[in-house]
């Protein structure tokens, strides 16, 4: 049975929505400000989300300490798996001489250390959207001419942040206060794509010996290869899941100078066939692509039929090697390169690496020979 909060937020696909750390911070900040000026405990507050929807959130651990007031809102992500779910997000309100609202962070809130994020280096990891929400909600309950400092904190933030992308993005010491809509959409594709955009922007802005280079990987196999085989800095590696097309266009928008794609042969066989979302819902041409490339490299009819009969693309790796047809992997890389270049109109130099499940480089385009030991030597071309 849903709570009033979730009933007001609604459901999508039978799954309940939640609310973001930004909504938690704004509600806690408003509650703390109300208590500061009224000197009375508040049990709940109503806030308006950026889309105009109003929600009421309960407050926890409300207290006074001298000239300050403090309370918290517990993060609830609905049915979305979220590393911050269940956390208490605290806000402390303190009067200041200057009028208006001043926002800072406290224990468990990260600090930005690199360029490329919505917040400048040195600032607390409280994004612009939540900052506006805090300013608006606190401002709505402040007496005219008064000023207040709001300090956001999260006691579990430093520990939980270790299981997020924050360390890789250069956000140190805790979690980020996020949320453009204030609502968590369960298993939201839009949220995932936004996170990909953020990681790409951070990678482009990272100060490296190859400025603007970005490495896109579907998952762990590609990341492991790049970091262990070529010593690619983790800050330049972006996991994109199935969203190859979106990630590529995002690289162009972010101003990437070069883009490298390193992933399993099964993933890139789909892209080589023109599938830029590699989720099975959008199609599956792995074995057909491998069979066609094998035929182009001299495979017999019987060998092509055997490839088509396989249940997994990985099984083709052993057969192609056995038949001395390892050149197929570089052809897959070349076809993947061609498809991606056409998608982007040749605007960004690309490099493609085709990998085994163990992370071995099976083929590449442009060719990256065995003698290449570092990522700064990897070739790319339009």
Q: What is the DSSP letter of 3?
A: -
Reported confidence tier of residue 299, pLDDT bands at 50, 70, 90 = very high
Distance of alpha carbon 76 from alpha carbon 8, whole angstroms: 14
Q: From residue 2, give the alpha-carbon distance in Å to each of 6, 11, 297, 362.
A: 6, 10, 59, 51
Beta-carbon contacts of residue 146 (< 8 Å; ≥ 6 apart)? 37, 95, 99
pLDDT of res. 36:
96
- As given in the structure block, the two tokens for residue 290 are 């491998």
User: How many degrees, rounded to 5, is the angle at CA 182 between CA 178 and CA 185?
Assistant: 95
Reported confidence tier of residue 314, pLDDT bands at 50, 70, 90 = confident
Distance of alpha carbon 65 from alpha carbon 35, whole angstroms: 11
pLDDT of res. 311:
75
Reported confidence tier of residue 188, pLDDT bands at 50, 70, 90 = low
Average pLDDT of span 214-230? 93
Mean pLDDT lowest among 3-12, 55-64, 369-378: 3-12
Domains of the chain as residue ranges with CATH: 4-184 (3.30.2110.10), 189-377 (no CATH)
Question: What would the DSSP string read from start to end of 8-70?
Answer: HH-EETTEE-EE-HHHHHHHHHHHHHHHHHH-S---EEEEE-TTS-EEEEE-EEEEEETTEEE
Buried b (16+ CB within 10 A) or exposed e, 283-317: ebbbbebbbbbbbebebeeebbebbeebeebeebb
pLDDT digits (tens, 9 = 90+) for 245-278: 999 999 999 999 999 999 999 999 999 999 999 9
Q: Find where tokens 């493609």 sit.
A: 352
What 3-state class would DSSP assign to 102? strand
Judged on CB neighbours under 10 Å (0-12, 13-18, 19+), 209 is exposed
pLDDT of res. 1:
37
With 90 as the cut, is the pLDDT of residue 154 above it? yes
Q: What is the DSSP letter of 106?
A: -
Bridge partners of 56?
Answer: 46
Distance of alpha carbon 317 from alpha carbon 266, whole angstroms: 10
Bridge partners of 184?
Answer: 18
Q: From residue 136, give the alpha-carbon distance in Å to each of 23, 70, 77, 97.
A: 12, 18, 23, 19
Percent of the chain exceeding pLDDT 70 equals: 96
Nearest partner of 172 among 217, 228, 109, judged by Cα: 109
With 80 as the cut, is the pLDDT of residue 88 above it? yes
pLDDT of res. 308:
95
Distance of alpha carbon 27 from alpha carbon 72, whole angstroms: 8
Whole-prediction pTM: 0.70
With 50 as the cut, is the pLDDT of residue 348 above it? yes
- Higher-pLDDT residue of 179, 150: 150
Radius of gyration of the chain (CA): 25
């Amino acid at each position: 049975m849903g709570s009033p909060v979730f009933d007001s937020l609604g459901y999508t696909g039978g799954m309940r929505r939640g609310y973001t750390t930004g909504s938690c911070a704004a509600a806690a900040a408003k509650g703390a400000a109300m208590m500061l000026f009224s000197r009375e405990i508040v049990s709940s507050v109503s806030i308006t989300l950026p889309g105009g929807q109003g929600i009421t959130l309960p407050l926890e651990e409300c207290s006074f300490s001298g000239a300050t007031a403090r309370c918290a809102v517990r993060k609830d992500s609905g049915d979305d798996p979220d590393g911050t779910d269940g956390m208490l997000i605290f806000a402390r309100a303190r009067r200041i001489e200057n009028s208006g609202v001043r926002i800072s962070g406290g224990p468990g809130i990260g600090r930005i250390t690199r360029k490329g994020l919505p917040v400048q280096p040195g600032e607390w990891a409280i994004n612009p959207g939540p900052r506006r929400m805090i300013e608006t909600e606190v401002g709505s309950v402040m007496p005219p001419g008064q000023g207040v400092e709001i300090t956001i904190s999260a006691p579990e933030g430093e520990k939980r942040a270790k299981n997020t992308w924050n360390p890789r993005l250069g956000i140190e010491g805790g979690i980020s206060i996020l949320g453009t809509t204030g609502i968590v959409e369960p298993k939201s594709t839009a949220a995932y794509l936004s996170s990909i955009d953020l990681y790409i922007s951070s990678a482009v802005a990272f100060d490296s010996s190859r400025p603007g280079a970005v490495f896109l990987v579907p998952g762990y196999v590609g990341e492991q290869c790049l970091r262990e085989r070529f010593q690619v800095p983790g800050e330049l590696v972006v996991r994109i899941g199935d969203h190859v097309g979106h990630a590529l266009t995002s690289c162009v928008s972010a101003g990437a100078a070069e883009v490298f794609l390193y992933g399993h042969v099964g993933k890139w066989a789909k892209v080589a066939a023109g599938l830029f979302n590699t989720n099975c819902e959008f199609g599956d041409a792995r074995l057909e692509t491998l069979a066609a490339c094998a035929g182009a490299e001299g495979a017999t009819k019987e060998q092509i039929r055997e490839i088509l009969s396989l249940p997994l693309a990985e099984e083709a790796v052993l057969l192609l090697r056995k038949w001395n047809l390892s050149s197929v992997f570089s052809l897959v890389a070349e076809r993947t390169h061609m498809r991606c270049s056409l998608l982007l109109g040749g605007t960004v130099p690309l490099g493609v690496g085709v990998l085994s499940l163990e992370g071995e480089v099976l083929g590449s385009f442009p060719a990256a020979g065995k003698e290449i030991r570092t990522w700064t030597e990897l070739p790319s071309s339009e």
